[in-house]
Amino acid sequence: MVDYHDEAMLPFPRQRIWQLIEAHRDPAQIGRIHPLVRNQEVESTRADETVVLRTIDVRGELRRSTWRLTSQPPEMFRWEILESDGPWAEGTWLENRYSEVPGGTRIESRGKLKVSVIPFLIPQGPVIRRVLSDLDVEDAAYLKG
């Protein structure tokens, strides 16, 4: 697992960020945000937690995984991989904390992550940063749309 920490700012109010987060739980919206998520089914929902089964296109191969999505609006959102055929390894998690700043919302991210579908010779850190950066671009595009 790779220890991950990052900070970013999105030029949107925290309320809009929470609309994005809620859309990640919606099987009808997730593919519009992240096109490689081919299918999502809600397995269970509680007040602050949703467990979803996702099918993700990994270089043309469909991989299934079970995700726990936990939120404490408007301060925190966390995802954790409970079971996985890839791309993320079981036990991977990422937690985001949100705060209002002039011009938008500050996001502080931390987690322990591992991509299970890359050879062991390829360093995890740069791959993880690139994947998360691509996901951030998709999130921002959805917010702008």
Spatial contact of 141 and 34, defined as CB atoms under 8 Å apart: no
Q: Is the pLDDT of residue 145 over 90?
A: no
Sheet holding 76-84, edge to edge: 2-10, 104-113, 93-101, 76-84, 61-72, 49-58, 37-45
Provide mean pLDDT across the span 40-48. Answer: 95
Taking residues 104-110, report their average pLDDT.
97
Find the mean pLDDT for residues 35-40: 98
Phi-psi region for residue 137, left (φ > 0), alpha (ψ -120 to 50) or beta? alpha
Domain positions in the chain are: 2-144
Looking at residue 81, its pLDDT comes to 98
pLDDT recorded at residue 69: 98
User: Which of 15-19, 40-44, 99-103, 119-123 comes out lowest in average pLDDT?
Assistant: 119-123
38 C-beta neighbours (distance < 10 Å), count = 15
pLDDT at 29: 97
**What is the predicted pLDDT for the residue at 120?**
84
Of the CATH numbers 3.40.50.970, 3.40.50.10490, 1.10.3720.10, 3.30.530.20, which one belongs to the domain with range 2-144?
3.30.530.20
- The stretch 26-53 carries a mean pLDDT of 97
**Residue 2: pLDDT over 90:** yes
Unique residue bearing structure tokens 């009808």:
28
Q: With 90 as the cut, is the pLDDT of residue 119 above it?
A: no
pTM: 0.93
| CA angle, 8 then 78 then 103, to 5° | 30
Of 71, 81, 20, residue with least CA distance to 46: 71
Nearest CA to 96 out of 115, 76, 79, 117 is that of 76
Alpha helices (H) along the chain: 14-25, 30-33, 124-144
pLDDT digits 0-9 by tens, 55-80: 999 999 999 999 999 999 999 999 99
- Give the side-chain half-sphere CA count within 13 A for 104: 11
